[in-house]
Amino acid sequence: MRHFYLIVSLIFLVFSHQVAAELKVGFVNAIRVMNEAPQVESANHNLEREFASRQRGLVSAKQAIKTLEERFTKNADIMIEAKARKLSRKIRDKGRELKRQREEFREDYNFRRNEELDKIQKIITQVIQTLAKRESYDLILSDGVVWASKRIDITDKVLRQLRQFRQ
């Protein structure tokens, strides 16, 4: 009976090597692609441009609050109590408004960033699928791979295709 299991195991081992030899497998380092793809750099640049004026507005509002706080600190001792309270309330209200604007900015920016990343992910998938079909790959792996040899790493090919990709 032990011989039977040994023979079955050897047959399985030989068969699996034959299948593996016929199988063309590739690996794409998704992190590297997202760090080096020109589409990502372009999207980041566009987002910076799109949100630049709002970012400047937030910086300006923060500076205005700082100026009010400095004035309050400098003059609080000589101010009439009612004026001091009014200025303190103004500082607090502007601080709340700034906090709200920052949260809206962050939400809007993240929403737009996710939209752009979804578009880029579709392009990357399209490029990988085109490359896989053109070069007759049976399987392309990406996320969840702990290690892949250079022999099957096609990340450079994918990045070259992304640099040439036109929508």
Q: Comparing C-alpha atoms, which of 147, 155, 124, 160 is closest to residue 28?
A: 155
Q: What is the pLDDT of residue 3?
A: 43
Q: Are 94 and 61 in contact (CB under 8 A)?
A: yes
What tens digit of pLDDT does each residue of 107-128 get?
999 999 999 999 999 999 999 9
Encode pLDDT of 50-95 as tens digits: 999 999 999 999 999 999 999 999 988 888 888 989 999 999 999 9
Distances (CA, A) of 167 to 20, 43, 59, 122: 36, 14, 36, 11
Q: How far apart are CA 133 and CA 71, in angstroms?
A: 68
**Per mean pLDDT, which range of 29-33, 60-64, 141-145 is the poorest?**
141-145
Is residue 86 within 8 Å of residue 72, measured between CB atoms? no
C-alpha–C-alpha distance, residues 158 and 33, integer Å = 8
Q: Average pLDDT, whole number, for the chain?
A: 87
Confidence of residue 22 (pLDDT cuts 50, 70, 90): confident
Q: What residues are paired with 141 via a beta bridge?
A: 27
Question: Which helix (H) or strand (E) covers residue 16, if one does?
Answer: helix 2-22
CB 107 within 8 A of CB 27: no
**Which comes out higher in pLDDT, residue 5 or 32?**
32
Backbone torsions φ then ψ of 51, nearest 5 degrees: -105, 5
Domains and CATH numbers, the chain: 21-164 (3.30.910.20)
